[in-house]
Amino acid sequence: MPKIFVLHENAEWMAPLRAALDTRKLAFEEWHLAEGAIDLSDAPPEGVFYNRMSASSHTRGHRFAPEFTGSVLAWLQAHGRRVVNGGRALELEVSKVKQYLALNAVGIPTPPTQAAVGADALRDAVRKAETPFILKPNRGGKGLGVQLFQTTGSALAEIDKGVFEDAPDGTMLVQRYIAPAEPVIIRNEFVGGEHVYSVRVDTSGGFLLCPADVCNLPDSPQGFQVCPADGGAAGGADAGARPKFEILPGFTHPLHARMTRFLERNSIEVAGIEMIVDTAGKAWVYDINTNTNYNPDAEAAAGLTGTDRSGMGALAAFLGRELEQLHKLAAAD
Ligand SMILES: Nc1ncnc2c1ncn2[C@@H]1O[C@H](COP(=O)(O)OP(=O)(O)O)[C@@H](O)[C@H]1O
Ligand SMILES: [Mg+2]
């Protein structure tokens, strides 16, 4: 019997998806791809394969998980398996350069960016950039290593300290800082290529904005992290103020149609697309997460918990529909 296979490298981020799949009584198996082996002469099992490999896997010691996942996805796709977020999604997940070029191709604005490999090239890029600017790794993750600089000199001093030498793919980006109208970003969640909801994330506590509960611990580093799986306790809003993660009911944006096109053109079915609205009201997209987490507190506050309109609910329902398609095809044979 075909089932759902979830390709990932972070067991902690699996719990909410597991629960949503279990509730819907969907048969699934997890493939933890931090390490492993495949025999290219074998045929993969039958099923719906959902890839949620993360760009931040190196921060959990899984440095080669994306590379291994790339091999596994190529093998699955060569056998014509139904893959959700396949090779192209992975390619974009681990490269902001590729994200920006693909976004621009459908007319979505991205902050002006230079990419540099090597300390000297990075210094040259920094000297060329207008202040203030952001330095961040091309292969990102949870906002780690994202830094804002007000002056060229302060960035050059950091480069001299060797702070930027451990970018996972050796590539650093020098990017225009988009001053937001409010200290927030908006993350637009898509499942099955369709907009599920948008969530407002308070960035006043720093750039580490992972929405997963496990990422929102009081001791998480302060910087530029925005992962939604976080409970939202750390950083950002004070008690009594607006929560760090807040779903915006009924929110739509003129860029949504282009985002949908972008996803379709790049064969991405599940993604969180992050944007900043500047003081002139213009929206800039600066990060795509094809492995996406959803904030449980924000979903509870919006009354979405346990429904097909929650992130994991929509995802599990979508995977279930895809599995049903496979069952129908098998029965017709
Ligand atoms: N160009 C920018 N202008 C303003 N803020 C930015 C910019 N780039 C990143 N940030 C802030 O840093 C956070 C993390 O950066 P991001 O590009 O999303 O990296 P990651 O892939 O690690 O999540 C963003 O959510 C945002 O708050
Ligand atoms: Mg981000």
- The number of the ligand 1 atom at minimal distance from the alpha carbon of 133 is 1
This prediction's pTM = 0.92
In the chain the domains, ranked by start, together with CATH numbers, are 3-94+312-332 (3.40.50), 113-176 (3.30.1490.20), 181-303 (3.30.470.20)
Determine the pLDDT at residue 219: 38
Measured in Å, residue 153 CA sits from the centre of ligand 2 at 26
Of the CA atoms within 13 Å of residue 245, those in its CB half-sphere come to 33
- Residue 46 Cα to ligand 1 midpoint, Å, equals 38
Please identify every stretch of the chain with a pLDDT value under 70, giving residue numbers as ranges.
Answer: 207-240
* Residue length of the chain: 333
The residue among 109, 120, 114, 122 whose CA lies nearest residue 97 is: 114
The pLDDT, as a whole number, for residue 156 is: 97
Q: Is 209 in the pocket of ligand 1 (CB under 6 A)?
A: yes
Mutation test residue for ligand 1: of 164, 276, 279, 290, the one with most atoms within 8 Å of CB: 276
- The CA distance from 120 to 170, in Å, is 13
Shortest-distance ligand to the CA of residue 182 = 1
pLDDT at 216: 54
Measured from the CB, is residue 142 less than 6 Å from ligand 1? yes
**Residue pLDDT, tens place only, 122-140:** 999 999 999 999 999 999 8
Helix axes 96-105, 256-265, angle to 10 degrees: 110
Report the SS3 class of residue 47: strand
Q: What is the pLDDT of residue 212?
A: 67
Q: What is the pLDDT of residue 229?
A: 56
pLDDT score at 235: 40
pLDDT digits (tens, 9 = 90+) for 197-236: 999 999 988 766 566 665 554 433 334 445 555 444 444 4
